[in-house]
Structures are given as structure tokens and as C-alpha cells.
């Protein structure tokens, strides 16, 4: 996650999980290529293990494309709004709220403790700034930027 713009009037945060999804797709490609190599070149029998390798490989290739989401969150003083836009291959979603309704920004940790995500806290809901969780770090910096922006109002 990175800060695209940080001025006194506007804060724009973007999350593009390209590396994680590229790794997943690469693993799927390796599984499919390895299984096909075994079947076609080495003449391995088509057994349960081979079928599982193909199914899991294709799932790892197709899954990232279907689940990939880029998220942009904009806090804008001029309009008094916070907008959250999520784009992916299969969906486009957008949501907005009044900037004054943001009560806090927290870091939500995955139950395993390694991955986390930044969430805006409103009176009636919590809105994550990304689809899923990540373990790449940087959430403290994003949280501090948002808190500073909200408190300087």
C-alpha cells in the first residue's frame, strides 16, 4: 500500500497487490507446466495425483485473475468526503461517506498474526482500505498519515 498524494486538502492511498497475485499465478503456471511435462514428455500415467496437480494449477492461475482487486481510498477536504474504490477483473465497487464520520483508523490483524490491513472506523461500520490482508508492512505509516490528516481538520 502506498500514498499517492498527501496534501493538507487531500490524501490518496492506493493498494495494488500485484506481487502477491503474480507469485500465486506463477505457482499455478509451474504446477500446470510440471504436470503437463510429466504427462506429455515423461509419459506419466494419469492418476489422482496428476489430476490434483492440474486442477490446483489451473485454480492458482485463474483464481488470482478473478480475485485481484486494486483499491484507492481518497480523503478530500474540499468535498468533505472519503471515497473508497475497488477495481478488479470481475467487479468495480465504490462507496463514499462524509469525512466527518471517520472516527478512527485501526490496523486489523489476521487471526494468525502475520498479516494485517488498515481500516477506517465509522460510527456504524468499519471499511478496510484493501481487499484481504497483506504481510508486507507499511500499515503503521498509512495509519499515521490518515490520523494526521483527520486530526488536522
Alpha carbon 104 to its chain centroid, in Å, reads 21
Q: Are residues 123 and 56 in the same domain?
A: no
* Number of structural domains found in the chain: 2
Looking up residue 81, the CATH number of its domain turns out to be: 2.30.29
- Which of 72, 76, 69 shows the shortest CA–CA distance to 84? 72
Query: Which structural domain range is residue 105 located in?
Result: 2-16+69-151
Q: Are residues 55 and 74 in the same domain?
A: no
Per-residue pLDDT of the chain (153 residues; tens, 9 = 90+): 899 999 999 999 999 988 888 888 899 999 999 999 999 999 988 898 889 989 999 998 888 888 889 999 999 999 999 999 999 888 899 999 999 999 999 988 877 667 888 999 998 899 998 877 766 667 889 999 999 999 986
Amino acid at each position: 500500500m502506498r500514498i499517492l498524494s498527501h496534501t493538507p486538502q487531500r490524501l490518496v492511498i492506493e493498494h495494488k497487490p500485484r506481487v502477491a497475485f503474480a507469485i500465486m499465478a506463477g505457482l499455478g503456471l509451474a504446477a500446470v507446466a510440471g504436470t503437463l511435462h510429466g504427462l506429455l514428455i515423461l509419459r506419466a500415467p494419469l492418476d489422482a495425483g496428476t489430476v490434483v496437480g492440474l486442477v490446483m494449477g489451473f485454480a492458482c492461475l485463474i483464481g488470482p485473475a478473478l480475485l485481484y482487486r486494486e483499491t484507492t481510498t481518497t480523503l478530500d477536504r474540499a468535498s468533505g468526503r472519503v471515497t473508497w474504490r475497488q477495481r478488479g477483473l470481475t467487479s468495480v465497487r465504490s462507496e463514499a461517506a462524509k469525512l466527518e464520520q471517520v472516527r478512527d483508523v485501526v490496523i486489523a490483524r489476521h487471526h494468525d498474526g502475520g498479516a494485517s490491513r488498515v481500516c477506517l472506523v465509522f460510527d456504524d461500520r468499519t471499511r478496510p482500505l484493501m481487499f484481504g490482508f497483506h504481510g508486507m508492512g507499511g500499515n503503521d505509516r498509512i495509519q499515521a498519515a490518515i490520523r494526521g490528516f483527520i486530526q488536522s481538520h
